[in-house]
Every structure is written in structure tokens, then in C-alpha cells.
Structure 1
Amino acid sequence: MEMFQTAQGGDSLPLAGHPLFSSDDLDEARDSVARVYCDHRLEVMGKHRFMARHNRLSGSALSINVMTYNAKTLIAPGALERFYLFQLPIRGHASISNGETRYEIGGGSSGVLNPDAETCMIWSEDCVQVMLQIEKRALMETARAELGLPSGAPLRFSGSNDMRGAQGRSFLGLLQYVMAEAARGGIVLGDGSLLGKQLERTLMAGLLQTQSHGLPIACEGRGPMTRTVRRAEGFMRENLRSPIMIEDIARAAGTSTRAVQTAFRDRYGRSPMAFLRDLRLERAWEELSNPSQQTSVTNVATDLGFFHLGRFAEQYRKKFGCTPVETLRAALR
């Protein structure tokens, strides 16, 4: 994109001060990339001269990469397994196949490869990509903290994302800032500093904010975790199977019903009772995903206070993208 190209100028790649390798030998390029990503198939498809260049800034849980192959190239790594990979062509475009999802990136659009899906990509001639390689564990921890991803639930991205809007440009502006500071020696990811760790966490949160994944993001950018919210949330988690009301939550938090409602809307953008419903849905997912032979959808739902099974199934499907029955059947296979 323009912000990266303008900053660098000419044919030099961003992060020029952090080269990983440069080679016109296909086997050497494949081996060099495999050392930091994973083993893969690499084939030249076009007639353009092959020349791979790869710059890399390594952090603790993620790395920032800039790469080109010059020629039209097929890259087939299979399942990435250990990491997610954010990709943004700043020149050219790429066709992506990640599991059952097919999409194009380039011209301001980006995408994220899921680690558990078979992947195959075709990069156009002169395609240059900025990529974030993020450890699977670290990104899922961030999703749990920032978006309430249930423990054990998958985090799956889908399709391309237009990065030309306000949120996309803000995220890319931060990414460009880190790269520019690294080029000047001002900031080095992975040095163990508090600033380095915070930058990595902010980049992961920005990725979650700008890429399609189906998780609610209403809580992002909200207010602080106040004592009222902490007390109320703790009370809810301890009483998921009890018929509690807003008055019970306010009493446990030591405040009024109006104050606890305001605190939750400031923090999460939703009411305490809506938050409680989501906690119960997450517990239902956990129990249906780890069933015994006696587990049933009806028992799990009613035990958690969902007595209208049709409404429960719809709320569950909206939150997790599948029905309770599908979760249970998959777990019992």
C-alpha cells in the first residue's frame, strides 16, 4: 500500500536493515523460508526471473516480515500448525486457498491464514507482501483477553479484509511505525522490554479488530476493568447455574443496579444480563465439547437456565457459528 511504498521509495523493500536472505536459487529460497515458517512446496509459474528477498524483524510472540519472489509463484505449505499469518500485498496481489475458503488479497485488502487449514497460495509477478507471523498460542490468549474467546474454542479467520478504512489504516499506521523505528534502531521487538511486549500485544489486538473472525468486538476500546465490574463478573461466574437477577449482581458488586449497568456498558458495550447470557453460552460450549456419554443438549441448556431450547440453539449458533447438536456430535465422534 501507499504508506509503505512512500516510506521506502524505489525498489528497496521495507525493513531493509533486517535482511533474512536474498537468493535467485529456488531450493535455497525454499530452505531459508522453511527455517522460519514451515516446510512447503515452492514452484515458479511465470516466465519472470525468480528472485526471492525476505526481510524479517523478530519479536517474542510475533515477527514482521516483508517478502517478494519477483516471479509468479505457487506456495503450498499445507497446514501452518504453529502460527497464524497475516498477509498484506503492498504491491501486486495473491490468490489464497485456506481450507474451504478462497479469496484474493491486494489493492488494499489483507487476509489471515488459519493454522489448522491446508493452505495454497499463488503470488503474482512482483508481488511484495508485509506479513505478521504470530504464534497461535499468543494470538488465542489475546483473543480470550480482548474478545472473550472461550477457553478451548477455535479462533478462525475468514476471507479478505479492506484495510483502507479508518481502523485498517490505524492498524497499518502502527505497523509502519514499528518498522520505521526498528530501521532507526529505536525499537526492537523481542528484547524483553515492557514497551516491546506492549507493542506486540497492541499489534495482535489491532489484527483482531480489523480481520474477519466472527467474534464480537464490542468490548474493544471500552472503559477500564473497574472494581464494580470485577466483583460482578466474579459473582456471575460462580453462579452460572443459579437463577440470578440484576439486583443480585448489583448487591454482590456493592452498588446500585443503575451503576452496575453503566459500568458494564462502559466496559463491554452490553448489559450485565447480556454478559451473563454469554458466559452461560460459553459454559455450554465447554460442556458440549467435552461430553460424557450422558451429556445431552437439553440437560446442558436447562442446567444453565436456558429453558426455551429453540432460542438457546439460535443464540448458540449466532455466537459460535454452529448448533449445540453439531458441537456435541463432533465431540462424540
Structure 2
Amino acid sequence: MDTDFQLHGQPLIKTRDFEESTEFVYNLWRPYQAVKRLGNGNYFFETYAAFRPDIALARINTSGGLALTGGQLDDVYLLAIPLRGHFRFVHSTRQYDYSGQHSASLYSAGQYHEIGLPEPVELLNIRFSRCFLEGTLEDLLGRPMSQPLIFHPELDLTGSLGQQVLALLHYLKTALNSMPVDQHSESMALQQVERALMILLLQEQPHNYSAEMKSRDPDPANWQLLRAEEYVKSRLDHALNVADLARAAGVSERTLSSAFKGKHGCTPVQFIRQLRLDAVHHELQLEYESATVTEIATRWGFSHLGHFTENYRKQFA
């Protein structure tokens, strides 16, 4: 697994003082009742992080020798990916050991758990807003939730789902590192990648709504159409065609085109163009953006400047 998840900027904390790191953990992960020191060897703890309204990435590097007990995440879901070393996770009464970068742990909101870091370890933690994740699930279901969302706590990083999750996280990390920190919360591209990541987890990682989602009538006007839309949004700066969208949604091109016309009143190609025009318009409004109109338009897939100019005027005149 590629472990290049470096986050730029200054660390939130870099210390050899156990008490200082304990206070930091309490503030960042409030539910833990105790942070215990294991052993008496040399100790260090550092964290780099990037924050968005509905998701946060944190790369944690520590000498280990600590355990977090009494945890219950009420407002967030947490995906923990080992980059180096191993850690131990207790979910309810079952213990999971993560090492060798083969699997990750997925903590569900409201569920009791403990974490053990007995030796040097590097982790990539991704926190998802409970409100945003559960709202995305309700969009996919087409109805309000009837009970809390609980994921299976182990995610295989070597399979198709794990590889797709890692690819989206690399894209997200690269995008975060490429822009000023004070612009992170305003990026439409980041929001699209985040939502695509959430939909991927909700559709592919087992949870207590999985059976209902798989048994639903495959109506492309509902979750399959939503999946096609998120596929477009997460790859808006890539070459796209209707066949790609149809494969992502699991329906035929004709069915997909009919669904887009029914919901959006346009074809999939027109939908892509509208989103790209929105992306160009958004970047042109940003104060820090110094690129020319041509450079921005090209970045978002417009190779013919004349056609771009005409369509842009129609949409934003």
C-alpha cells in the first residue's frame, strides 16, 4: 500500500511529554475516559491534520506505549488506517489487530470501543460528520433512518473497496495540500470527493442497512442515479463519457440517459458540462486564484475555448 499521506503545514502537536499528548487526545477525541501509558521507554507523539466542515484527516505518528479506553464516538464516524506498525481495536467484546497495512478499522457513532497502541505506529485517521454521513444514507434509502447506522468494524484494504477508498483519500490529500488552508472549507471539488467517499462506504462496506439497499428495486432515479452523479462529481476534471457513468451506476446507457432527463431535464453529457461550468465559475470567484480563464477552463475539461465561452455566457449571463 502506498503510504504517502503527508499533510503539509505545521503539526497540531509534536511532543515527548505524555501529559501534553494526553490533553491533546482528550480535546481531539473527547469520548475517551482514560489515556494510559504502557511501559517506560522514550515517548513521542505528533499529529498533522486538515479540517473540512464534514470530514477531517489526521496523520498520527507516535512511539506507542499508550491505550485509549472508554471511547464512544457520538458525533462522528472514524476510519483508522495503519501506515506503519500495528494497533489493537476492541469493538464491544471482540478484539481486532491491525498491522501490515492489510486492513483498517471503521468506528461507528455511538458504539463503545478501545484502542491500544503498544508499539511505534503511524495512522491515518479520517473523521466523518455523523450528520453528513447519515444524511447521505437517507438520500440513498429515499427515507429517514429508523435506527443508528452501524458499520462492520473491519475494512479490507487489499480488495476493490479498500483500493477505491485509498485512491479517493490520495486525491483528497493532494487537493488539500495544493491550496491555502483558509480555502479548504470553500472547495467544491473537495466536497464532491468527500461525498463520493461516503457513498462508496455506504454502498460497499457492510452495515445494518446493507440488506435493504441491495434488495431495493434498481431504480436509476434513486441510488443508482445518485451514484452516477457522484461519480461525475469526483472525477469532474477527468475525461468522462456516458459509458463510464453507466458502468458506475450499474445500468445501461439508455436507462441512465432516460433517468437523467427525468430528474435533471438534460442528458448525462449536458449534466457534466453544467457541473464543469459551475466549477470554473466557482474558481473565478476565489480571491487566491491567479490562473487565467483559459487555464481554469482547460483544467476542467474545456478544450474548445469558443464553445466554452458561449456556454458560460448562457449559464451565467
Short-chain TM bin: 0.5 to 0.7
- Superposition deviation, residue 147 in structure 1: 4.8
Unmatched segments (≥5 aa) in structure 2: 226-253, 260-317
- Superposition deviation, residue 97 in structure 1: 1.4
Among 179, 183, 191, the residue aligned to 1:185:
179
Per the alignment, residue 207 of structure 2 pairs with: 213
Per the alignment, residue 51 of structure 1 pairs with: 44
Among 89, 111, 116, the residue aligned to 1:96:
89
Per the alignment, residue 246 of structure 1 pairs with: none
Unmatched segments (≥5 aa) in structure 1: 9-13, 230-261, 268-333
Per the alignment, residue 250 of structure 1 pairs with: none
The amino acid that maps onto 1:196 is L
- Correspondence 1:118-133 to 2 at 5 A: 118-133=112-127
1:25 aligned onto 2:17: yes
How big is each residue's C-alpha offset from its partner over 1:276-295, in whole Å with a ceiling of 9 and x where there is no partner? Answer: xxxxxxxxxxxxxxxxxxxx
Distance 2:206 2:103 in 1: 12
1:63/1:133 contact within 8 Å kept: yes
Alignment TM-score, normalising by the size of structure 2: 0.62
- Superposition deviation, residue 37 in structure 1: 2.3
- Superposition deviation, residue 39 in structure 1: 4.8
2:90/2:114 contact within 8 Å kept: yes
- Superposition deviation, residue 196 in structure 1: 2.5
Per the alignment, residue 2 of structure 2 pairs with: 3
Among 221, 243, 250, the residue aligned to 1:225:
221
- Superposition deviation, residue 27 in structure 1: 1.7
Distance 1:92 1:150 in 2: 40
| CA pair 187-203 structure 1, distance change in 2 beyond 3 A | farther
Per the alignment, residue 61 of structure 2 pairs with: 68
Distance 2:90 2:69 in 1: 9
Per the alignment, residue 77 of structure 2 pairs with: 84
- Superposition deviation, residue 130 in structure 1: 0.7
Per the alignment, residue 140 of structure 1 pairs with: 134
Distance 1:160 1:215 in 2: 16
Per the alignment, residue 155 of structure 1 pairs with: 149
1:106 aligned onto 2:102: no
Q: Greater CA radius of gyration, 1 or 2? A: 1
- Superposition deviation, residue 190 in structure 1: 4.4
The amino acid that maps onto 1:22 is K
1:82/1:115 contact within 8 Å kept: yes
- Secondary structure of the equivalent of 1:185? coil
| CA pair 18-179 structure 1, distance change in 2 beyond 3 A | farther
Distance 1:93 1:201 in 2: 29
- Correspondence 1:273-284 to 2 at 5 A: none
Aligned residues: 224
Distance 2:169 2:183 in 1: 12
2:104/2:156 contact within 8 Å kept: yes
- Secondary structure of the equivalent of 1:125? coil
- Secondary structure of the equivalent of 1:179? helix
The amino acid that maps onto 1:54 is T
| CA pair 68-77 structure 1, distance change in 2 beyond 3 A | farther
The amino acid that maps onto 2:110 is D
| CA pair 198-34 structure 1, distance change in 2 beyond 3 A | same
Alignment TM-score, normalising by the size of structure 1: 0.59
Give the alignment's Cα RMSD to 1 decimal. Answer: 3.2
The amino acid that maps onto 2:53 is S
1:88/1:110 contact within 8 Å kept: yes
How big is each residue's C-alpha offset from its partner over 1:302-332, in whole Å with a ceiling of 9 and x where there is no partner? Answer: xxxxxxxxxxxxxxxxxxxxxxxxxxxxxxx
| CA pair 100-149 structure 1, distance change in 2 beyond 3 A | farther
- Superposition deviation, residue 63 in structure 1: 0.3
1:15 aligned onto 2:7: yes
Distance 1:19 1:206 in 2: 30
- Superposition deviation, residue 80 in structure 1: 1.6
2:91/2:153 contact within 8 Å kept: no
| CA pair 189-198 structure 1, distance change in 2 beyond 3 A | farther
- Correspondence 1:265-304 to 2 at 5 A: none
- Superposition deviation, residue 263 in structure 1: 5.8
- Superposition deviation, residue 70 in structure 1: 1.1
Per the alignment, residue 248 of structure 1 pairs with: none
1:157/1:212 contact within 8 Å kept: yes
The amino acid that maps onto 1:225 is A
How big is each residue's C-alpha offset from its partner over 1:72-104, in whole Å with a ceiling of 9 and x where there is no partner? Answer: 321124212111111111111121112244322
- Superposition deviation, residue 219 in structure 1: 8.8
- Superposition deviation, residue 154 in structure 1: 1.4
